[in-house]
Amino acid sequence: MSIPEPPPGTPVPEQDERPPDGQDAGPGDVPTTHAGHGYLSSNHKADYLRRLRRIEGQARGLQRMIEEEKYCIDILTQVSAMTSALQSVALGLLDDHLDHCVAAAVTNGGDEAEEKLKEASKAIARLVRS
C-alpha cells in the first residue's frame, strides 16, 4: 500500500536550516509594530519556545524509533502524543490571539474588527478540521 501524501495545497515550508543565532530577533530589534502580538505581550514567548523545542525533540525521537525499527504501535503512540502537544500549542496561541489582537481590534471597531474576527474563525476551522 502506498504512503498517503499530505493533502494537496498543504503548505510545507522549507525551514530545515536555522539561521545563525546572530540573525535571530533579539530584544533590541523587536519591531514596534509587533508589540501587540498576544503571545509576546502576555510573556508567553519563552513558554512556547520551550514547548516547541520539546516537540522538535519528539520529531527527532520518532526518527530514531524508525531508524532502530521499533514496533509500529509504539511509534504511533508517540505520534499521537506529539500531535496532542502541537494542538495544545495551537490552542494556547489562539487564546492569546483572541485575548489581545482580536480584543484590541474589536475595541477599536470598524472594518479591522470584522476582518480580525473572520480571520480568527478561519484559523479555528483549520484547527478543528486538521
Give residues 59-88 in contact with a second copy (rule: CB under 8 A).
59-69, 71-73, 75-88
Tell me the number of residues near a second copy by CB under 8 A.
99
By the rule CB under 8 A, 112 interacts with a second copy: no
By the rule CB under 8 A, 22 interacts with a second copy: no
Dihedral angle sign, alpha carbons of residues 73, 79, 82, 83: negative
Query: CA 124, CA 91: separation in Å to the nearest integer?
Result: 9
Q: What are the distances in angstroms from CA 111 to CA 29, 33, 46?
A: 30, 19, 33
By the rule CB under 8 A, 20 interacts with a second copy: no
Query: CA 25, CA 89: separation in Å to the nearest integer?
Result: 21
By the rule CB under 8 A, 111 interacts with a second copy: no
User: What are φ and ψ of residue 81, in 5° steps?
Assistant: -65, -40
Query: CA 94, CA 106: separation in Å to the nearest integer?
Result: 16
By the rule CB under 8 A, 8 interacts with a second copy: no
Q: Which of residues 24-63 bind a second copy (CB under 8 A)?
A: 24-25, 30-31, 34, 37-40, 42, 44-45, 47-50, 52-63
The binder of a second copy chosen from 20, 22, 91, 112 (CB under 8 A): 91
Cβ closer to a second copy: 15 or 111?
Answer: 15
